[in-house]
Structure 1
Amino acid sequence: MKINQKGFTLIEMLLVLVIMMLICTIGISVGKKQLDRQLENRFIEQLKADIELTQALSFQYQGAASLYIFDAINEIHIYVPKYHKDNPIIIRKYPKNVEFRYYSTLDHVIFTENQTVSRSGTIIFSVNGRRVKLNVYLGEGRVKIVQ
Structure 2
Amino acid sequence: MVRNEGGFTLLEMMLVLTVFMVCFGAALIPLLNIVDEVNDQQFFNQLERDLLEAQSYAIVNNVGVIVYFFEAGQHKYSISTYESNRQILAERTIPDHFIPVKGSMPDIMFLKSGMTNKFGTVYFKTNKKRTKLIFLIGRGRFYFLEE
**TM-score if structure 2 supplies the norm length?**
0.88
Partner residue of 1:132?
131
Report the Cα distance in structure 2 between the residues aligned to 1:60 and 1:27, rounded to whole angstroms: 50
Partner residue of 1:76?
77
Q: Name the aligned partner's letter for residue 48 of structure 1.
A: E
Report the Cα distance in structure 1 between the residues aligned to 2:37 and 2:61, rounded to whole angstroms: 36
Q: Mark the runs of 5 or more structure 2 residues left unpaired by the alignment.
A: none
Report the Cα distance in structure 1 between the residues aligned to 2:118 and 2:46, rounded to whole angstroms: 21
Q: 1:134 aligns to what SS in structure 2?
A: strand
Q: 1:99 aligns to what SS in structure 2?
A: coil
Structure 1 contact 51–109 (Cα < 8 Å) conserved: no
Q: 1:45 to 1:128 in 2, by over 3 A?
A: farther
Q: Name the aligned partner's letter for residue 135 of structure 2.
A: V
Q: Name the aligned partner's letter for residue 38 of structure 1.
A: V
Report the Cα distance in structure 2 between the residues aligned to 1:6 and 1:27, rounded to whole angstroms: 32
Q: Mark the runs of 5 or more structure 1 residues left unpaired by the alignment.
A: none
Shift of 1:78: 0.6
**TM-score if structure 1 supplies the norm length?**
0.88
Q: 2:13 aligns to what SS in structure 1?
A: helix
Shift of 1:20: 1.2
Between the two proteins, what is the percent identity of the paired residues? 24
Q: 1:34 aligns to what SS in structure 2?
A: helix
Partner residue of 2:143?
144
Paired residues for 1:104-119 under 5 Å: 104=104, 106-119=105-118
Partner residue of 2:102?
102
Structure 1 contact 57–80 (Cα < 8 Å) conserved: no
Report the Cα distance in structure 2 between the residues aligned to 1:81 and 1:91, rounded to whole angstroms: 15
Partner residue of 1:33?
33
Shift of 1:2: 4.6
Partner residue of 1:120?
119
Shift of 1:54: 1.2
Shift of 1:88: 1.6
Aligned length: 145
